[in-house]
Amino acid sequence: MKAKELLPFISELDTYKKYGRVKRVVGLMIESQGPESSIGDVCHIHVGVKSKKKIIRAEVVGFKEENIILMPYTELNEIAPGCLVEATMRPLEFKIGSAMIGSVIDPLGLPLDGSGLPKGLATVGTERVPPNPMERPPINESIEVGVRLIDSLLTVGKGQRVGIFAGSGVGKSTLLGMIARNTTADINVIGLIGERGREVREFIERDLGPEGLSRSIVVVATSDSPALMRIKGAYTATAIAEYFRDKGLNVMLMMDSVTRVAMAQREIGLAVGEPPTTKGYTPSVFATLPKLLERTGTNQLGTITAFYTVLVDGDDMNEPIADTVRGILDGHFVLDRSLANKGQYPAVNVLKSISRLMNQIVDEEHVKCAEKFREMLAKYIENEDLINIGAYKRGSSKEIDEAIRKYPEIISFLKQAVDEPVSKQDSVNRLISLIGSV
Ligand SMILES: Nc1ncnc2c1ncn2[C@@H]1O[C@H](COP(=O)(O)OP(=O)(O)O)[C@@H](O)[C@H]1O
Ligand SMILES: [Mg+2]
């Protein structure tokens, strides 16, 4: 056989397709000639010399002419021109199982305390398509979160997805910790994305506490980790929730924050040359958010109830990420700085918040009482200035009189101490007796 005739066979050989070489590094990007790979595939970059050989894992994020563009999950140092790039032909996978409950892991599934993985875990991919919308069972049962104002006035269904919109320091982490400790969900999966290291520690030790952690898996990608890791943190947390949903469980997923996930996606988008649109966010941000958020909810086996926090600076609810997320989810809870400043915690502004599924999952009496509660609160707030300066004359309006009379009870109903667990039944009973006595 002539050498020329052999060429097609050589190009089909596994070793030929499987390896490539690093050509150059620009910013966060590695350009490599070969191997054959598709977007989202993991490649192993072999770095170091003889005794100090090491593998750096990177993901294919784009193509440029003949070359593939990779982004590493970890740091870039040690990568040099000519380094061998090996294709794995697979997207990112990690190991998970019940034995991981109670642990804090990184987006690649490894325990942060450096301990090894237990035996008997299953291997799962980080990416999955959302359940077919036609096959999703409807949500018709409520879930207990153990926060009075939510269980009674903003009741959440098993498999419902809710956004928590708030500025920084208004009480997001504290509220998520309360839910994680008090809920009757079978397991919590908590994704902490883009927080500072100190905040992560505070959340785990103070807000979640040992009892909360013992029924949770926490996935952490801090603000100093590479953008790709922060995105994978969100995917891994979602994939863990999916794994337990497929075991038939009612899972509670909390992601703090989805804004930071969007920012990480923007960082990657800009680096691969996407055009910036609103607020510098690239089109891929608006394409990936729905794909990520649609993965939770119900499927035929179990449910994932999800809380996604969204940062709203200066309480601007029309900021592009807030706007997009609100459109995808089945409810939004707004945390209000003015309530936090008054010491009214949890600082949920009930009048600005909505659970879109509540009326389908609770009985009529409960719905009526919640509506009446909102009306009274709204009436009081509307006239608050007049009432405070003494310009309102009692007897002018029956409704306002009633709202004034009930106001102290309303406020004490809304307030709940961090370490005060309340059952859903107690919350609902208290709401009914508060309204019933009107
Ligand atoms: N339910 C609460 N009761 C009392 N204080 C609270 C409560 N929630 C938040 N706080 C106060 O607000 C601070 C910031 O809360 P945190 O949950 O860390 O906010 P965020 O996560 O939104 O930045 C806490 O350190 C605490 O002092
Ligand atoms: Mg926080």
Query: Is 143 in a helix, a strand, or coil?
Result: strand
Write down the pLDDT at residue 271.
Answer: 86
Tokens of 256: 């703090």
Q: Rounded CA gap, 45 and 33, in Å? A: 12
Q: Give the rounded percent of residues in the chain with a pLDDT score beyond 70.
A: 97
Ligand approaching nearest to the C-alpha of 335: 1
Closest ligand 1 atom number to CA of residue 166: 22
* Predicted confidence (pLDDT) per residue in 176-190, tens digit: 999 999 999 999 999
Ligand 1 in reach of 345 Cβ (< 6 A): yes
Ligand approaching nearest to the C-alpha of 178: 1
Write down the pLDDT at residue 102.
Answer: 96
Ligand approaching nearest to the C-alpha of 416: 1
Ligand 1 in reach of 34 Cβ (< 6 A): no
Ligand 1 in reach of 148 Cβ (< 6 A): no
Q: What is the mean pLDDT of the chain?
A: 91
What separation in Å is there between the alpha carbon of 208 and the centre of ligand 1?
Answer: 13
Query: Which protein residue's CA is at the shortest distance from atom 16 of ligand 1?
Result: 171
Closest ligand 1 atom number to CA of residue 178: 1
Ligand 1 in reach of 171 Cβ (< 6 A): yes
Write down the pLDDT at residue 76.
Answer: 74
What separation in Å is there between the alpha carbon of 118 and the centre of ligand 1?
Answer: 35
Closest listed residue to residue 240, CA positions, set 89, 72, 122: 122
| Contact by Cβ (8 Å): 306, 271 | no
Write down the pLDDT at residue 31.
Answer: 94
Ligand 1 in reach of 341 Cβ (< 6 A): no
Q: Which residues of the chain have pLDDT under 70?
A: 1, 10-17, 315, 437-438
Ligand approaching nearest to the C-alpha of 177: 1
Which of 170, 174, 257, 310 gets mutated to test ligand 1 (max ligand atoms within 8 A of its CB)? 174
DSSP 69-100: EEEESS--TT--TT-EEEEEEEE-EEEE-GGG
Alpha-carbon 137 to chain mean position? 22
Q: Give the rounded percent of residues in the chain with a pLDDT score beyond 90.
A: 74
* Predicted confidence (pLDDT) per residue in 239-252, tens digit: 999 999 999 999 99
Ligand 1 in reach of 346 Cβ (< 6 A): yes
Tokens of 59: 């993901």
Write down the pLDDT at residue 222.
Answer: 95
What separation in Å is there between the alpha carbon of 1 and the centre of ligand 2?
Answer: 68
What separation in Å is there between the alpha carbon of 162 and the centre of ligand 1?
Answer: 20
What separation in Å is there between the alpha carbon of 150 and the centre of ligand 1?
Answer: 17
What separation in Å is there between the alpha carbon of 173 and the centre of ligand 1?
Answer: 7
Number of H helices, E strands in the chain: 16, 19
Query: Which protein residue's CA is at the shortest distance from atom 14 of ligand 1?
Result: 169
Ligand 1 in reach of 177 Cβ (< 6 A): no
Ligand approaching nearest to the C-alpha of 420: 1
Ligand 1 in reach of 20 Cβ (< 6 A): no
Q: Rounded CA gap, 278 and 369, in Å? A: 41
DSSP 290-321: HHHHTTSEE-SS-EEEEEEEEE-GGG-TTSHH
Query: Which protein residue's CA is at the shortest distance from atom 23 of ligand 1?
Result: 169
What separation in Å is there between the alpha carbon of 130 and the centre of ligand 2?
Answer: 28
Ligand 1 in reach of 250 Cβ (< 6 A): no
Write down the pLDDT at residue 386.
Answer: 83
Ligand 1 in reach of 257 Cβ (< 6 A): no
DSSP state for residue 55 in the 8-state scheme? E
